[in-house]
Structure 1
Amino acid sequence: MFNFSSNSVPASRDPAIVATRIFFQEHGSALLNAAALLGGPSAHRRCLRLLSEISESSSLTRALRQELVWLHRLVCLDLVGDPETEETARFAMIDLLDPRVEEICLVADRLYDLLVVISDLDPGCDVILGELFDLSAA
């Protein structure tokens, strides 16, 4: 669905942005669907902005990394639990037998794999390391 190989995309020597673009080429639609289902219209728009910024950036900035962590937390249901949040209300309405649930689980796993790749490429990235450390302790 998303084509990051056009001439309008800045060329990059940053392997993290390249890996992220490849990831979103393969999983962008599933992530947009997951964001809409789990977080509503505002999460869907935020995910669209993330896709746009990835396509326009020549490197994976700290802000982009923070958005990837937010997206991972959304699809891993870390934002569910507070009865006052939209994510909790939306999650409560999901039928766990809905086939979209399996798709969300699979894309959450792939997004985790991307975070590991980014961390391996930049071992000093505290944004990603914090997310990976939090998940491994759970």
Structure 2
Amino acid sequence: MRSRLSVQGTPTSDGKHSEAAVRAAEQFVTRKYQVLVHGAGLLGGVGAQGRCVRLTARLRRADRMDRHCWRELRWLRDLFCLQIGDDPEAPGAAHFCALSPDDPAVHDLCLLAEALGDLLAEIDIAQTQVVSEETANAGRDAA
């Protein structure tokens, strides 16, 4: 469920797109704030909760998507997709390991993982389209 980064650019490389990307991410984390912070705590402990809170605050202040926000959004997606919890030595791994698959919260965590993956994929697809349009326009201008 990993979103791919465009080879030509990231969501931080285009002004208009970068602003739209940060607003979409900010709206997402604001709508889902309590369940994101709670889920981050279940999967990664207090450190993960703090990281989620800091990301939300940074997105609310941001006027464009920066590399830090993009990296933290990918980290959050990886946390919810359980791609971080497979290292028993990682900080917060004990929290992930203590979570029972029968816990009712697991279903909500799965839905959040999917929604985070969708958000990052949408941002990445939009960036790929912007880069493709810029490349096409540059080709026309050169001709």
Match of 2:82 in 1: 77
Query: Separation in 1 of the partners of 2:66 and 2:119?
Result: 15
Query: Separation in 2 of the partners of 1:47 and 1:107?
Result: 13
Residues 17 and 60, structure 1, Cα contact 8 Å, conserved in 2: yes
Provide the TM-score with structure 2 as the length reference: 0.73
Once the two structures are TM-superposed, the CA of residue 22 in structure 1 deviates from its matched residue by 1.7
Q: Does 1:101 align with 2:109?
A: no
Q: Which runs of 5+ in 2 are unaligned?
A: 1-14, 130-143
Once the two structures are TM-superposed, the CA of residue 85 in structure 1 deviates from its matched residue by 2.2
Query: Separation in 2 of the partners of 1:95 and 1:45?
Result: 23
Identity, % of aligned positions: 34
Instruction: Decide which moves more: 84-93 or 46-55.
Output: 84-93
Once the two structures are TM-superposed, the CA of residue 119 in structure 1 deviates from its matched residue by 0.5
Residues 30 and 56, structure 2, Cα contact 8 Å, conserved in 1: no
Match of 1:33 in 2: 38
Once the two structures are TM-superposed, the CA of residue 121 in structure 1 deviates from its matched residue by 2.2
Once the two structures are TM-superposed, the CA of residue 113 in structure 1 deviates from its matched residue by 0.7
Deviation digits for residues 39-94 of structure 1 (CA, Å, limit 9, x no counterpart): 11111111100000000000011110000000111111111222222433222211
Match of 2:57 in 1: 52
Aligned length in residues: 114
Instruction: Decide which moves more: 40-49 or 21-30.
Output: 21-30
Query: Separation in 1 of the partners of 2:118 and 2:86?
Result: 25
Computing the radius of gyration from Cα coordinates, the structure with the larger value is 2
Q: Which runs of 5+ in 1 are unaligned?
A: 1-11, 125-138
Once the two structures are TM-superposed, the CA of residue 27 in structure 1 deviates from its matched residue by 1.5
**After TM superposition, which residue ranges in structure 1, 4 or more long, deviate above 2 angstroms?**
85-88
Query: Separation in 2 of the partners of 1:19 and 1:84?
Result: 34
Aligned with residue 120 of structure 1, among 112, 118, 125: 125
Once the two structures are TM-superposed, the CA of residue 25 in structure 1 deviates from its matched residue by 2.4
Aligned with residue 20 of structure 1, among 19, 22, 25: 25
Query: Separation in 1 of the partners of 2:102 and 2:74?
Result: 27
Provide the TM-score with structure 1 as the length reference: 0.75
Structure scoring higher RCO (CA < 8 A, sep ≥ 6) equals 2
Residues 79 and 87, structure 1, Cα contact 8 Å, conserved in 2: no
